[in-house]
Amino acid sequence: MPDLTRPHGPRIIAVANQKGGVGKTTTTINLGAALAAEGRKVLLVDLDPQGNASTGLGVEQDDRLVTTYDLLAGDVTLSQAIQTTTVDLLSIIPATTDLSSADIELISNEKRSFLLHDALRQIDIDQFAFDFVLIDCPPSLNILTVNAMVAAHSVIVPLQSEFFALEGLSQLMLSLREVREAANPDLRIEGIALTMYDSRNNLSQQVEEDARQNLGDLVFQTVIPRNVRLSEAPSFAMPVLQYDPASKGSLAYRALAREILDRETLRQKG
Ligand code: ADP
Ligand code: MG
């Protein structure tokens, strides 16, 4: 439900796909950095107990004293949980393996699907003036991912350009529909992002063709190529935009950020 007293809250986007290794974390980190490079203030919420987004942005284990788990458990306020990163305009709430127990511990809670929704609407988010919140989801359709979908305005679905990529999508769509019916009727699909695309590979082209034919405008125009710089950057604890700004991976995520911003402008006009 829109909060009319605070019409300028951030746009909250969940990056979700129940399949592991499809580019969720890579997309969250680099899209976040790319939106920041466009002058937007971004909060990244690491909602995966593996904490890959936290690691990839250089948040050491020792610096994860306050995490997404503490926020969901209601033990800390939003401003206590938010940390700055080495990337200008990009902040993060990091995650640790604590979060994996949330799945079990939260089940007794009646509002268990709304924990992130409520946390991100705490009044103290206003002082940060975020334009975007990006949520990096775990590779599952568990209660954590449901929390992300309930909290979000829209969902980005990274789709690895390989055989069977489209098959897992129907399960995700089902979850989206359930969340819409039960909790968040306005939840949109922001877009489906084809990742790890190899233009020399017929299979990649076939997946793109299928996706565009079946899903039309839901598929982002921008395609993310397979690019080794994207896979190297996390071990240097930085987004590819910092690690190798001229790389194909960097340029692709910058294009994706602009595509999202352009679509938003269009939506606001129309
Ligand atoms: P997920 O979060 O969905 O599990 P990741 O973003 O962690 O997926 O990506 C899985 C692996 O693939 C990681 O090692 C990552 O560095 C690598 N990877 C992701 N996207 C690309 C890409 N476009 N090109 C090359 N490697 C990529
Ligand atoms: Mg991940």
CB 51 within 8 A of CB 96: yes
pLDDT confidence of 230, banded at 50, 70, 90? Answer: very high
State the distance from the centre of ligand 2 to the C-alpha of 68, rounded, in angstroms: 15
Q: Which residues of 191-205 are buried (b: 16+ CB within 10 A; e: fewer)?
A: bbbbbbbeeeeeebe
Q: Taking the C-alpha atoms of 82, 87, 88 and 94 in order, what is their torsion angle to the nearest 10 degrees? A: -10
Regarding the beta carbon of 240 and ligand 1, being less than 6 Å apart is answered no
Q: pLDDT tens, 152-206?
A: 999 999 999 887 778 889 999 999 999 999 999 999 999 999 999 998 988 899 9
Regarding the beta carbon of 54 and ligand 1, being less than 6 Å apart is answered no
Is the pLDDT reported for residue 93 higher than 70? yes
Quote the pLDDT of residue 157.
98
Query: What is the domain partition of the chain in residue ranges?
Result: 11-269
State pTM to two decimals.
Answer: 0.95
Regarding the beta carbon of 52 and ligand 1, being less than 6 Å apart is answered yes
| Test site for ligand 1: of 26, 204, 207, 248, most ligand atoms within 8 A of the Cβ | 26
Is the pLDDT reported for residue 235 higher than 70? yes
**What is d(CA 258, CA 262) in angstroms, rounded to the nearest whole number?**
6
Regarding the beta carbon of 247 and ligand 1, being less than 6 Å apart is answered no
CB 80 within 8 A of CB 66: yes
11-269 CATH: 3.40.50.300
Indicate the range of 111-120, 227-236, 261-270 predicted with least confidence.
261-270
Treating both helix axes as pointing N-terminal to C-terminal, what angle do 169-182 and 143-151 enclose, rounded to 10 degrees? 60
pLDDT confidence of 242, banded at 50, 70, 90? Answer: very high
Closest by CA to 29, choosing from 236, 269, 262, is 236
Mean pLDDT of the chain: 93
Sheet holding 132-136, edge to edge: 83-84, 90-93, 42-46, 132-136, 11-15, 154-160, 188-195
Quote the pLDDT of residue 5.
53
